[in-house]
Amino acid sequence: MMSAAGEKKPSVIESVLSHAVIVTLVAFSLYPVAWVISTAFSAGSAPERRILPVPGHFTFAHVVEFVTSPHVLSQAGSSLVVSVATALVGIAIALPAAYALSRFSFVGKEAGVRLLLATQMFPMVASAVPLYMVLEALGLLDTRTGLVVCYATTSVPFAIFQLRGAFDSIPKDLEEAAMVDGATRLGAFLRVVLPAARPAIAVTGLFAFMSAYNEFILAATILGKEEALTLPVVLQRYVGEHDAQWGTFAAGSILVSLPVMLLFYVVQRNLVSGLTQGGVKG
Same domain, 105 and 204: yes
CA dist 167 and 174 (Å) reads 12
Q: Is residue 1 part of a domain?
A: no
Q: Is residue 6 part of a domain?
A: no
DSSP string, 228-267: G--HHHHHHTTB-SS-B-HHHHHHHHHHHHHHHHHHHHHH
- Number of folded domains in the chain? 2
Decide if 173 contacts 104 (C-beta within 8 A). Answer: no
Question: Residue-wise over 65-85: b if at least 16 C-beta within 10 A, else e?
Answer: ebeeeeebeebbebbbebbbb
Same domain, 271 and 132: yes
How many helices and strands (H and E) does the chain possess? 13, 0
- Residue 278 is predicted with a pLDDT of 46
CB neighbours of residue 279 within 10 Å: 12
- Residue 265 is predicted with a pLDDT of 83
CA dist 183 and 192 (Å) reads 10
- Residue 163 is predicted with a pLDDT of 92
Same domain, 139 and 252: yes
CA dist 131 and 152 (Å) reads 11
- Residue 21 is predicted with a pLDDT of 94
The domain boundary residue, chosen from 59, 80, 95:
59
Within 41-143, residue ranges assigned H as helices are 61-67, 72-103, 109-119, 128-138
Same domain, 40 and 91: no
Same domain, 45 and 71: no
The ranges of the chain with pLDDT < 50 are 1-2, 274, 278-282
- Residue 7 is predicted with a pLDDT of 63
The residues facing 58 across adjacent strands are 42
Decide if 220 contacts 34 (C-beta within 8 A). Answer: no
Domain containing 74 — which CATH number? 1.10.3720.10
- Residue 135 is predicted with a pLDDT of 92
- Residue 5 is predicted with a pLDDT of 52
Q: Is residue 71 part of a domain?
A: yes
> Which domain does 49 fall in, by range?
12-59
Same domain, 43 and 155: no
- Residue 264 is predicted with a pLDDT of 83
- Residue 273 is predicted with a pLDDT of 57
Same domain, 69 and 55: no
Decide if 280 contacts 200 (C-beta within 8 A). Answer: no
Same domain, 110 and 204: yes
